[in-house]
Amino acid sequence: MNQMSMDVGTALGSSEAVADAAPKMTARNVAVSYGATQALRGVSIDVSTENVTAFIGPSGCGKSTFLRCLNRMNDTVASARVTGEIQLDGKDIYAPDMDVVQLRARVGMVFQKPNPFPKSIYENVAYGPRIHGLARSKADLDGVVEQSLRRAGLWDEVKDRLADSGTALSGGQQQRLCIARAIAVNPEVILMDEPASALDPIATAKIEELIDELRGKYAIVIVTHNMQQAARVSQKTAFFHLGSLVEYGDTREIFTNPREPRTKDYITGRYG
Amino acid sequence: MTERLATGAPTAWGSDAMQNRIRRRYRQERLFRGLGIAALALAGGFLLFLLTTIVASGWNSFRATEVQMAVTFDPARLGVDAAAAKADPNLLAKANFQGIMGDASDAQFGRGVRIVSDGAWLTLRDMAQADPSILGTTQTVWLLTTSNIDQLAKGAFDLTIDAADLPVTATEIALWKRLNSEGKLRTGLNALFLTGADSVDPELAGIWGALKGSFLMLIITLVISFPLGVLSAIYLEEFAAKNRWTDIIEVSINNLAAVPSIIFGLLGLAVFLNTLNMPRSAPIVGGLTLALMTFPVIVIASRAAIKAVPPSIRDAALGIGASPVQVVFHHVIPLALPGMLTGTILGMARALGETAPLLMIGMRAFLTSVPQGFTQPATALPVQIFIWSDNVSRGFVEKTSGAIIVLLLFLLLINGLAIYLRNKFEVRW
């Protein structure tokens, strides 16, 4: 064990992985290809509400591709072809009768670069509930907006300027606004694609705290480049390399006692 | 160089070769700036020259000369019964006002000398209809002069050259000098130019007929090409699969935008007039033809505007469960609207200035009345300019420039509108 792995070891969060109840999402033997290029093969993973799941791996290893399969965002890429089976609550999300719009409301997503709509803070959060008809009245909608912003830890900072543009916030605030926007449609799963990679350390810390607070309410999957971050926020970790899932298990196990030599090499900083 | 790097010797910034290189670099920068400023100055100079020439020769078309004369409203000569006409002024509509005007002109300026415009009797009729009590009296009135007198009054002729070379007669010159010294001529606003339609007499010709024809046409063009163009652009950008077919459509649209406008005129002639038997010279046909021409411009501008919407916004909306149509209507269109509107308005400005296709569908007719609807014969502003510029009469020279001024003002207005709308709808990030 070298210095690097010691650092990661000390970064490990205090919370241990707990035994899963029924998994929220299950993926079996998922493969993705873009045209002739095989981006991902043979991935099988369970995602639960009790634990935060982190996907780690070097650039281009397929972790983001896999994440985007979980809410069918890959549908927007014309050349992408997904095989295998992904279930949400035991129902195949690639089944012909699955409504993609409803699926994406149940499986929310936060992107790498904060992408608030160029509208007011209020409108950013209210947009989702409005298009899904989740609020019955203006007061109801106000309540949803406030609750979502509170859960995203942003309410105290923006409550006096809800009419200001969402794009006028700082990068970290924008990202929390995006999380609030995802929470507002009351999803069951939240997918986060390197949510802190464009943020400074303080904003990153806030996002990580937030993820920890949201655990248990939503099944959270986070893709990250930052191994310390994976160690801090997750209870389950999946290591991807060259388009396949190398190892998947409890975060503590992966970081202190990886089974696969490739995982060990990556975690100890030999490549990646 | 590699040797220098290998030996690690410091770069000789002070050496002559290096100093020369630096001096050359500065010289190139100055040269480039100089060329840029020269190009701008040249373009500005040409623009200034163009505007000065047009305004100098065109501003007189907004003024008209009138002559003072005494006219006797003799009921017998007018061919009406004075008592009946006083009770019902409408009876005067067909009265012989040309007759009393001719009599007055013959008496005051000499037999057969044309000083008063042929159309000036309308002024007399309007006077009599407004106040029938003037029947049987002699009134002093200001009447529109012929174009020759008008041009003399505005100083358009060089009187130092031999009178035989001038388009005006010696009698006219002598009369003009006399009337001028008697104070019986005045030059004022030419209302007829802004409210009338075309005429064989320059002093009676107006721009409103052509302007209204252009308006009617542009309404048709906008109503057809804007929705079609924007919907095509949205479909191609946001929904259509990217394959060989969409490639072919894209190339076709780009080619369509580059097709010379006269070809669209031929298309309009073949399709709308010969096949669909629509009325000739009508604004609806002109509008449809121009819509065909404007459509690809709007598609291209709208596609560029849609492409410029960041994909992250689409991802964000899709990610919270918006349907593709909701993504387009709630997010993409509002962000792309300024670009779409700018492209549309610039396309409309181009359509406003288009002449060639309108010639093909018969919109160069000589029309003395203002068009009242989309299916009535009409002409358009640029076509009117073309027609007048062809006319040999001296009075039409200033009318041509006057019409150009009106056209340029409208183009300026439209482009100003484009800038205003772009700024109004632009979303600041």
Q: What is the CATH number of domain A3-112+190-267?
A: 3.40.50.300
Which band of pLDDT confidence, cut at 50, 70 and 90, is reported for residue A19?
Answer: low
Same domain as B215, residue B177: no
The rounded mean pLDDT for chain B is 88
- Among the candidates B154, B189, B224, a domain finishes at B189
Q: List all residues of chain A from 22 to 81 with a beta carbon under 8 Å from chain B.
A: 71, 73, 76, 78
Inter-chain CB proximity B319 and A111 less than 8 Å: yes
Q: Is a pLDDT exceeding 70 seen at residue B53?
A: yes
Quick one: pLDDT at residue A14? 57
pLDDT in tens, A44-99: 999 988 889 999 988 888 888 999 999 998 888 878 889 999 999 888 999 888 89
Same domain as B306, residue B408: yes
Interface contact A104, partner B, CB < 8 A: yes
B167 within some domain: yes
B223 within some domain: yes
B275 within some domain: yes
pLDDT in tens, B125-147: 888 888 888 888 888 889 898 88
Average of per-residue pLDDT across B386-394? 86
More confident residue, B255 or A134: B255
Inter-chain CB proximity A101 and B317 less than 8 Å: no
Interface contact B426, partner A, CB < 8 A: no
The partner residue sitting opposite B331, judged by closest CB among A78, A117, A132, is: A117
Q: Which residue range(s) make up the domain with B90?
A: 61-189
List the structure tokens of A244.
């396949």
Distance, CA of A177 to CA of B354 (rounded, Å): 51
Give how many domains chain B has, as a whole number: 2
Same domain as B231, residue B161: no
B379 within some domain: yes
Same domain as B299, residue B150: no
Quick one: pLDDT at residue B303? 95
Quick one: pLDDT at residue B106? 87
Same domain as B183, residue B236: no
Distance, CA of A258 to CA of A270 (rounded, Å): 14
Interface contact A195, partner B, CB < 8 A: no
Please give the helix or strand (H or E) that residue A149 lies within, else none.
Answer: helix A138-151
Distance of CA B146 to the CA centre of its chain: 26
B-chain residues near A117 (CB < 8 A)? 313, 316-317, 331
The partner residue sitting opposite B319, judged by closest CB among A78, A109, A131, is: A109
Which chain B residue's Cα is nearest to A125? Answer: B320
Average of per-residue pLDDT across A248-266? 89
Q: Return the DSSP state at B390.
A: T
Which band of pLDDT confidence, cut at 50, 70 and 90, is reported for residue A198?
Answer: confident
3 state SS of A39: strand
B6 within some domain: no
Quick one: pLDDT at residue A13? 62
The partner residue sitting opposite B320, judged by closest CB among A76, A104, A165, is: A104
Quick one: pLDDT at residue B290? 93
pLDDT in tens, B205-240: 889 999 999 999 999 999 999 999 999 999 999 988
Quick one: pLDDT at residue B4? 63
B17 within some domain: no
Inter-chain CB proximity A182 and B429 less than 8 Å: no
The rounded mean pLDDT for chain A is 87
Quick one: pLDDT at residue A5? 45
Q: Is a pLDDT exceeding 80 seen at residue A18?
A: no
Quick one: pLDDT at residue B407? 92
Q: What percent of chain B has pLDDT over 90?
A: 40
Q: Is a pLDDT exceeding 70 seen at residue A113?
A: yes
Which band of pLDDT confidence, cut at 50, 70 and 90, is reported for residue A1?
Answer: very low
Q: Return the domain boundaries, chain A.
A: 3-112+190-267
Same domain as B212, residue B78: no
B46 within some domain: no
Q: Is a pLDDT exceeding 90 seen at residue B307?
A: yes
Same domain as B213, residue B84: no
List the structure tokens of A94.
């690639």
Q: Is a pLDDT exceeding 70 seen at residue B110?
A: yes
Average of per-residue pLDDT across B340-365? 89
The partner residue sitting opposite A117, judged by closest CB among B313, B318, B326, is: B313
Our CA dihedral for A59, A65, A70, A73, rounded to 10 degrees, sits at 130
Inter-chain CB proximity A131 and B330 less than 8 Å: yes
Q: Nearest Cα to B72, choosing from B22, B3, B161, B134?
A: B134
Average of per-residue pLDDT across B283-298? 93
Measured at the CA of A222, the angle between CA A253 and CA A199, to 5 degrees, comes to: 115
Note whether B132 and B105 are within 8 A (CB): no
Quick one: pLDDT at residue B157? 82
Note whether A120 and B428 are within 8 A (CB): no
More confident residue, A12 or B58: B58
Same domain as B287, residue B415: yes
Q: Is a pLDDT exceeding 50 seen at residue A6?
A: no
A-chain residues near B310 (CB < 8 A)? 115
Which band of pLDDT confidence, cut at 50, 70 and 90, is reported for residue B95?
Answer: confident
More confident residue, A7 or A23: A23
Same domain as B233, residue B173: no
CA distance A226 to chain B (A): 23
CATH number of the domain to which B320 belongs: 1.10.3720.10
Same domain as B234, residue B142: no
B3 within some domain: no
